[in-house]
Amino acid sequence: MFSKEIQNQVNNLLSRYPIKQNALIPILLLAQKENNGWITEEWMQHVADCCEVPLTHVEGVVTFYTMFRLKPPGKYHLQVCTCVPCCLVGGTEILEYTEKKLNTHAGYTSADGLFSIEEMECIGACSYAPAMIVNEDYHEQVTPEKMDKLIDKLSK
Amino acid sequence: MAEETLVLFKNIRNPKYSKSLEGYKKAGGYQTLKKVFGMKPNEVVQTVKDSGVRGRGGAGFPTGLKWSFMPNGTGKPSYLIANADESEPGTCKDRELMLKDPHLFLEGMLIGCYAVGCHHGYIYIRGEFFPAIKSLNTAVEELYADGLLGPDPLGSGFHLDLTIHSGAGAYICGEESALLDSLEGKRGQPRVKPPFPAISGFNGCPTSVNNVETLACMPFILGDGGVEAFKSFGPENNSGTHLVSLSGHVNKPGVYELRMDVNMKDIIYGIGGGIRNGKKLKGVIPGGSSSSVMTADEVDVLYNFDELANIDTMLGSAAMMVFDEDTDVVQLLHRITRFYAHESCGQCTPCREGTHWSRNILRDFLNGNGSDEKLRRLDRVGGNMLGTTLCALGDAAALPIQSFVKKFPDDFRKYYANK
């Protein structure tokens, strides 16, 4: 199920731990990337086979960690932090602004499938708050104006 | 006025510095590792003990002592795991090191591996830190290409591998035993202790788990700087510089490297540039969201482990969150309790239930349904989490609740006074 390039990464990961199960979380992250940002039962079974663990174990792991998603995200996944330092300097307002602008809510995807929003607990950019992650990139000291610019750019 | 003291940030604050292996070597990098390979591992551990360095991840446990617990001759491999799961609200210092000077941390990691006899170290980094993961991956590739990792680093014959392991979003995995379960490919749930990781850690083998910043101190302690210089940066029992993540309502938030004998007032009003918009200070959460809150009257104190412990709060991960007079502390505490309700792993009943109950009670306040009885109940729910759980998350949820209620009672009463 993995592409050849990713299969090489999986094999490399498996070789770096004493027990195959140890590589489960990094391999699940690769599987999620392969499947456009979410995990299906079919993928869980495939990863279970790679790591030689039961499917139920993989399900337990997938549902424990917030980065694993069981439904497809938008093309751009906006992860807006509203945790303590961000909420002190307007993170909550940024989230509300984004929800209004995209006419959707945290946990959902915009009608055109382009943007999904997630409300985050601390993302570790506290001294540069309010902050967010878009797919794999950090955006710091976010303002409504910066958000407008970003969304306009990504919508094109 | 307080200024930065540059040990860990010496390279980062140099605008001409390049974080590549070549750049780091040019700045004197990996010379300490060379020196360490000429020492016996127990001499390295003793030097670290002598330096008095305490873990920078939050608990402040003496690192040399932790390493000295690693047993010899068990017939099992020993492991050193770097805890790069920086998730404590307010804390963003390890990210800074990994992004901007990855080799400083890696040299410390390699020194640590040698000290505890670990031939394959793992860096457990939180999954959301994509840019830091990339930065570390590049640096580790450079080390393999250079031979500093592999069968014979610097001709020492000490075979050493390093693997970067990405987490997947769970605050609890910063707790060392939950981290180990997560690293093993399980749900990250804290273990019953004892046995401690030094006896039974990663896959049941002797393991030491150390914070990124702690490891980054090693090149200085064992190298050019030395034990005495390191100790001179702070009062007895609080040695070294530390990285302070300053956030909230200050004019100049940022990550600063400070001695351990700097007054909190100087940090807020000097380095931090004072409270923004000319407002007055209302309070400070001094050591990550898990620490007890301080009022404006309490901040005339040295910012270190012992001074803060003396006034019933803690330095934690040195994450200062400053808030001004306009802050609604009920809303603030509600946000903090929401965090713990989201992050409780669900294993121990007092924490699994208590974090949600306290959040719900605070939501009642915000919805206009507060009361004296509910305020007492909130305090009681906090008390029932203290010391009743396997790991410190229960305490971490309880301490802010109890301290906010104790120090800002009028703010809570305002919510229901007119009823």
Contact A88 B321 (CB under 8 A): yes
A76-155: in CATH 3.40.30.10: yes
| Helices of type H across B300-386 | 305-310, 329-343, 349-366, 372-385
Average pLDDT over residues A43-72: 98
- Best A24, A81, A126, A141 member to test B by mutation, with max B CBs in 10 Å, is A126
Contact A124 B126 (CB under 8 A): yes
- Which of B218, B162, B233 has its CA nearest to residue B45? B218
d(CA B358, CA B353): 9
Contact B335 A87 (CB under 8 A): yes
Are B163 and B120 in contact, with CB atoms under 8 Å apart? yes
ipTM: 0.97
- Best B128, B212, B325 member to test A by mutation, with max A CBs in 10 Å, is B128
The domain limits of chain A are 4-64, 76-155
A residues 79-98 closer than 8 Å to B (CB): 79, 82-85, 87-89
Strands of B85-186, DSSP E:
120-125, 161-166
CATH of domain B329-417: 1.20.1440.230
- Residues of B with Cβ-Cβ distance to A93 under 8 angstroms: none
d(CA A132, CA A89): 13
Distance from CA of A66 to the nearest CA of B (A): 5
- The residues with which B324 forms a beta bridge, in sequence order, are B281
Distance from CA of A106 to the nearest CA of B (A): 15
Phi and psi torsions of A138, nearest 5°: -85, 140
- Residues of B with Cβ-Cβ distance to A79 under 8 angstroms: 128
| pLDDT at position B417 | 81
Contact A65 B169 (CB under 8 A): yes
Contact B335 A82 (CB under 8 A): yes
pLDDT tens per residue, range A72-122: 999 999 999 999 999 999 999 999 999 999 999 999 999 999 999 999 999
Residue B374 CB partners (closer than 8 Å, separation 6+): B361, B364, B365
| pLDDT at position B388 | 96
3-state secondary structure at position A134: strand
| pLDDT at position B26 | 97
Which residue in the set A24, A67, A88 is minimally distant from B248, CB to CB?
A: A88
Q: Between β-strands B161-166 and A132-134, what pairing exists: parallel, antiparallel or unpaired?
A: unpaired
Tokens of B185: 């490919």
Q: How many CA atoms lie within 13 A of A39 on its CB side?
A: 26
pLDDT tens per residue, range A132-153: 999 999 999 999 999 999 999 9
Contact A129 B327 (CB under 8 A): no
d(CA B117, CA B45): 11
Burial class of residue B194 (count of CB atoms within 10 Å of its CB; 0-12, 13-18, 19+): exposed
d(CA B8, CA B14): 12
CATH topology of domain A4-64: Arc Repressor Mutant, subunit A (1.10.10)
| pLDDT at position A107 | 96
- Residues of B with Cβ-Cβ distance to A28 under 8 angstroms: 168
Give the count of beta carbons closer than 10 Å to the beta carbon of residue B277. Answer: 9
The domain limits of chain B are 21-231, 244-324, 329-417
Contact B185 A136 (CB under 8 A): no
Contact B249 A68 (CB under 8 A): no
Are B411 and B329 in contact, with CB atoms under 8 Å apart? yes
Taking the CA atoms of chain A, what radius of gyration do you get in angstroms?
A: 18
- Residues of A with Cβ-Cβ distance to B342 under 8 angstroms: 121
- Residues of B with Cβ-Cβ distance to A65 under 8 angstroms: 127, 167-170, 188
| pLDDT at position B419 | 60
User: What is the pTM for the complete model shown?
Assistant: 0.97
Residue A36 zone, left/alpha/beta (φ > 0; ψ -120 to 50; rest)? left
- Residues of A with Cβ-Cβ distance to B161 under 8 angstroms: 16
Domain at B21-231, CATH from 3.40.50.620, 3.40.50.300, 3.40.1110.10, 3.40.50.11540: 3.40.50.11540
User: How confident is chain B (419 residues) per 10-residue block, as mean pLDDT?
Assistant: 92 97 98 98 98 96 98 95 97 98 98 98 98 98 98 97 97 97 98 96 98 98 96 96 98 98 97 97 97 97 97 97 97 97 96 97 96 96 96 96 96 85
- Residues of A with Cβ-Cβ distance to B203 under 8 angstroms: 18-19, 22
| pLDDT at position B195 | 96
Phi and psi torsions of A120, nearest 5°: -105, 150
Alpha-carbon distance values, B58 to B54, B86, B157, B213 (Å): 9, 10, 35, 11
Contact B185 A53 (CB under 8 A): yes
A107 close to B (CB below 8 A) = no
Contact B128 A124 (CB under 8 A): yes
CATH topology of domain B244-324: Ubiquitin-like (UB roll) (3.10.20)
Contact B128 A83 (CB under 8 A): no
